[in-house]
Amino acid sequence: MLNPVIFELHKKGRAAEHLPAPETPEEEILASIPERMRRRLPLRLPEVPELELARHYERLARRNHHVEKDFYPLGSCTMKYNPRVHERIAALPGFAALHPMLPETLAQGAIRLLASLEEALAAVTGMDAFTLQPAAGAHGEFTGLSLVEAYFRKKGEDRRKVILPDSAHGTNPASVRRLGLEPVEVRSDERGEVSIDALGAVVDERTAALMLTLPNTLGLFETRLPRIVEIVHGAGAQLYLDGANLNALLGIVRPGDIGFDVMHTNVHKTFSTPHGGGGPGAGPVGVKEHLIPFLPTPRPVRDGDRWTWKHDFPDSIGPVHSYYGNFAVLVRAYAYIRHLGGPGLREVTEHAILGANYLRSLVEKSYPVPYRRAAMHEFVASAARFFQTANVRAMDIGKRLLDFGFYAPTISFPLIVKEALMIEPTETESRETIERFAAAMLAIAKEIEEDPERVRGAPYDTPVRRVNESLASRRPRLVWEDGADGEGVPSRG
């Protein structure tokens, strides 16, 4: 079999022996658990020789795209290089082997590191304090909005509305709902920014917050931000920053200096920690002074020359994670900030912006960019004209890019651009890579004119051809099931 699942490699009795047999007879140990509380279901884990296992994961590894293989143009995802040295640092036993409930005296370095990272993030963003507990961006959104909700509850104000631009990430409205708040959409204007008129019309004394992504998901700076701040604060509401695009702001703009009250960051974007094929990330939340009392507990604080966990914050929303957040991820983020420092972080942003604008200049003749203004760290092109003339969709172009060895851009987002291709090269992609990618984009544009069918049928040169997603959802097979004859047959869910 070319591509077996792990259960197809199973034969009884051939797993490697990792552990000794217990010294006590098994029945004696089991006697501590009454019959009725014991497992009766057979434990059907695979038994695979270690070499075959290693080859199995080697095969899987080869079937993945990843940052070290080639460029990820994914807009809003900031797929920058994950420095190798961070992997070595995070694996140090002095970090990896620490139990979270160790007495504080035995974990001084770990608590200090977390406190130092909070301080560093505050310095980078201009916020007054951070919590590192949220495990991902959406968890950060939920946490940040919880702080806003708690703040207004404490003040006795009933504010249920959260305003979101129509270009917002899908997590924003989903997080708002999770808090039982009411998402209200505000449209973008012809410049691709929040419409000031529309905003003025919806913000009122029932508004808790405006959630803004800056630069927005079109890669554009909200140039009328001072007016937005006036409107939002004028109504007594809070201004939330979705920090997904913070890579465009380092050392250039500090959200805490310009009117934002609360924000989350995605350290797996801006601060170079790996995406892990879907996590773990981390979504620290920063706040201005007035929201500090509501931050999750426990918080790392200095007590003389010692670091300690402080639990006693009466207005706190309480913990949002079992312990202190994704510590091993946060260690990497701290190493990144410590390595680059202020000047290095500013260079990150300058080169992210330079790269995005350069790539745009190379492709925009073929792929029109609807909002013709200077891009920040990413830009959104439209494939609408290919859809009209050749029935080729943005998704098809993305799939064709896979044949060139690249990943696809973010497709069909933001929703306000037809056939959107959202592209973010990050500061770590070289001029040569950007040019190679642009050449592929242009070659595809040409191919659409000559042989659109070819593009619609892509990809060809990938581990599998176009995957049938509708079959997957029509007949969900979510776990493997062995047939009676030992042949694997997938479960029909």
Q: How far is the CB of 78 from other proteins (least distance, A)?
A: 10
Cα atoms in the Cβ-side hemisphere of radius 13 Å centred on 232: 25
Q: Which CB, 73 or 390, lies closer to other proteins? A: 73
Q: Are 290 and 273 in contact (CB under 8 A)?
A: no
Task: Give the residue with the Cβ less far from other proteins, 212 or 353.
Answer: 353
66 versus 418: smaller Cβ distance to other proteins: 66
With beta carbons less than 8 A apart as the criterion, state whether 233 and 262 touch: no
Residue 298 neighbours by CB distance under 10 Å: 17
The CB-of-439 to other proteins minimum distance in angstroms stands at 14
Shortest Cβ 363–other proteins spacing (Å): 11
Residue 479 beta carbon to other proteins: minimum distance, rounded to whole angstroms:
4
Give the sheet arrangement for strand 379-382, strand by strand: 379-382, 420-423, 410-411
Bridge partners (DSSP) listed for residue 300: 309
Phi–psi pair at 286, nearest 5 degrees: -110, 150
Closest CA to 403 of 54, 65, 140: 65
Q: How far is the CB of 384 from other proteins (least distance, A)?
A: 20
CB of residue 388 vs other proteins: minimum separation in angstroms? 24
Whole-angstrom CA distances from 429 to 81, 135, 359, 360, 435 are 8, 27, 11, 14, 10
We find the least distance from the C-beta atom of residue 200 to other proteins, in angstroms, to be 19
Please state the separation of Cα 284 from the chain's center in Å: 12
Q: For 193, which DSSP code?
A: S
3-state secondary structure of 33: coil
User: Which tokens in the block code for residue 458?
Assistant: 């892509």
Asked if 115 and 151 count as a contact pair (C-beta separation under 8 A), the reply is no
Distance, in Å, from the CA atom of 319 to the CA atom of 399, rounded to the nearest integer, reads 42
Cis bond upstream, residue 414 (ω within 30) = yes
Q: Whose Cβ is closer to other proteins: residue 39's or residue 483's?
A: 39
CB of 175 to other proteins, least distance (A): 4
Contacts of 56 (CB under 8 A, 6+ apart): 4, 6, 9, 48
SS3 at position 190: coil
Nearer to other proteins, 280 or 293 (CB): 280
> At its nearest, how many Å lie between other proteins and the CB of residue 290?
19
85 vs 449, which CB is nearer to other proteins? Answer: 85
Buried b (16+ CB within 10 A) or exposed e, 447-464: bbeeebebbbebbeeeee
Nearer to other proteins, 98 or 235 (CB): 98
Kindly tell me which of 19 and 450 has the beta carbon lying closer to other proteins: 19
Least CB distance from residue 9 to other proteins, whole Å? Answer: 9
Nearer to other proteins, 10 or 389 (CB): 10
Beta strands in 187-246 (DSSP E): 207-213, 238-243
Question: What six digits make up the tokens of 46?
Answer: 């695979």
Least gap, CB of 271 to other proteins (angstroms): 12
Q: Shortest Cβ distance from residue 317 to other proteins (Å)? A: 5
Structure tokens at 265: 């960051």
Helix (H) or strand (E) holding 176: helix 171-178
Q: Which is nearer to other proteins, 22 or 314 (CB)?
A: 22
**Cβ pair 457, 466 in contact under 8 A:** yes
Q: Are 392 and 411 in contact (CB under 8 A)?
A: no
* 3 vs 389 by CB, closer to other proteins: 3
Nearer to other proteins, 311 or 389 (CB): 311
CA distance 48 to 256: 54
